[in-house]
Every structure is written in structure tokens, then in C-alpha cells.
Amino acid sequence: MSERNPRPEHLIEAVLLVSASPISSPDLSSATGLSKDEMETALGTLAQRYAPETSGIVLRNVAGGYLLSTNPSCSRAVERFREEARPAPLSNAAHEVLACALYLGPLTRGAVSRVRGVNSDAVVRTLLERNLLAEVATDHEAPGSPALLGVTDEFLAATGASSTDDFPPLGSLVSPEELSRVHERLTSTTAPQDGGETP
């Protein structure tokens, strides 16, 4: 490699190394001066070089950009070196709130609580502190103009998603059979006691 004429993959590699957050293709192109074709070829080369099987560093395509991260198989050594504990795993309640924001968002805290059936303010606060949720807009039509919650790029990176389109549709997560069973049980438990059998 000539110092004055670095190869495209070296340029991308260098820029990615100094970024703590994903870099989009346009930003990478702008920084390196590479064309779209050169970028694709170089990123393909880097993806092979930084495959999880062959490297302690991996190239991730997350949150709409590219990011160099340590290989999860090396995480214990990294965490020992940095003397930091991995964040506590999220609770089921936190996952439900994130699912609400991902599939039904942007939505208000009240809407989250309505979907879950319990007050979710404390969980939302924790997720805001961890940058997995953000107040992305305001509902001006609702009384008090409450903030609307949405998922963040940190959420996408933490779930390994390039965008919100990477998640399966909400309707596909529950089978029709399961739904009909729920309806059946509900109908049987809410039927009037003196009204005889349910239809």
C-alpha cells in the first residue's frame, strides 16, 4: 500500500475505526471520496476480513450504517480490561415497552400503559436513560401535548437491526390458532352465568 494512495477498503476501515456509532453509506462516501461501486466492493472485502469466525473485530451493518465492534466472543476480555460490567439485562416489562414503541410508535407513555394494562412510566424512564427510547415528537392534539416515544439508533444497534424494517410484522408474531384460542377462552369466561351456553 502506498501512503499517498490508500486502497478503498483501507480508507473505510480507518474512518470506521474512529467512530463509536454507525456511519451511513453517504457519510462514508463523503469522508473517503469513494464512489458507490468502490464502496460496495470495499465493504465486501472488509466484511470478509472482519467476519466473526476470523477476527476479534467484526463489521456490523446496524442502525442504517456500518460499525466496527469487538467480537462478542471476546467480550469478557474487553469488559475486564475496561473494568466495566455489562448493563443489567432488560426486564420483560422493558422489552414490552420497547415492542410498543417499535411496532405502535411513536406513541405516548399513556398509550404504552394502555396497551400493557399497567403503568409503565418507571420502565420508560429507565429506557430513556439507557438511550433505547427517545422522545421523538410531541402529540399537540392531546391534552398537555405529551411526548411521543420512539426507538433509537442505539436500540437498533443493540438488536443488530439495520432499520425498523428488519423486524417481522407484528401480525405475524401470533398464529391465528393462538388468537382464536384466546378469543375462545375470553368468550367462555365473560359469558353470562345464567345465559346458558355460549354460541
Partner 1 sequence: MTFEGRSLADFTVELDVYSGPYEWLLALILKDELEIFEIPLRELVESYVGAREQNGANNLERDTDFAGSASALVLLKSRTLSPAIDGEGEDPEDEALSPEELAERLTEYLKIRRAAERLRERFASNAGHHPSAHTVPPRPGRLQVRADRVTLTARRTFSRLIEPPLRHLGPITVTLQDLATMIRTALAGGPVSYEILTRDMDRLNRAVTFAAALSLAQEGGLTLAQTEPLGPLTLEPKA
Binding site for partner 1 (CB under 8 A): 16-21, 58, 60, 67-70, 72-73, 75, 78-79, 82, 86, 88-96, 98-100, 102-104, 114-119, 122-123, 125-126, 157-161, 167-168, 170-171, 173-174, 178-179, 182-183, 186-187, 190
Q: What are the φ and ψ backbone dihedral angles of 138, each rounded to 5 degrees?
A: -130, 135
CA dist 69 and 20 (Å) reads 9
- Report, in Å, the least distance between residue 61 CB and partner 1: 12
Least distance to partner 1 from the beta carbon of 103, Å?
Answer: 6
For residues 104 and 137, which CB has a smaller minimum distance to partner 1 in the complex? Answer: 104
Q: Smaller CB distance to partner 1: residue 35 or 131?
A: 131
Strand partners, 154: none
| Centroid of chain to Cα 88 | 17
Burial class (CB within 10 angstroms; exposed 0-12, middle 13-18, buried 19+) of 23:
buried
Three cell numbers written together for 52: 466473526
- Taking the complex as a whole, the smallest distance from the CB of residue 93 to partner 1 amounts, in Å, to 4
Nearest to partner 1 of 35, 118 (CB atom): 118
Q: Measured from the CB of residue 37, what is the shortest distance to partner 1 in angstroms? A: 27
Residue with Cβ nearer partner 1 (1 or 17): 17
Query: Taking every pair of C-alpha atoms in the chain, what is the biggest distance, in angstroms?
Result: 88
- Counting DSSP H helices and E strands in the chain, the numbers are 9, 4
Q: Minimum Å distance from CB 20 to partner 1?
A: 5
Q: Which is nearer to partner 1, 37 or 117 (CB)?
A: 117
Instruction: Say how many C-beta atoms besides its own lie within 10 A of residue 188's C-beta.
Output: 10
d(CA 22, CA 159): 13
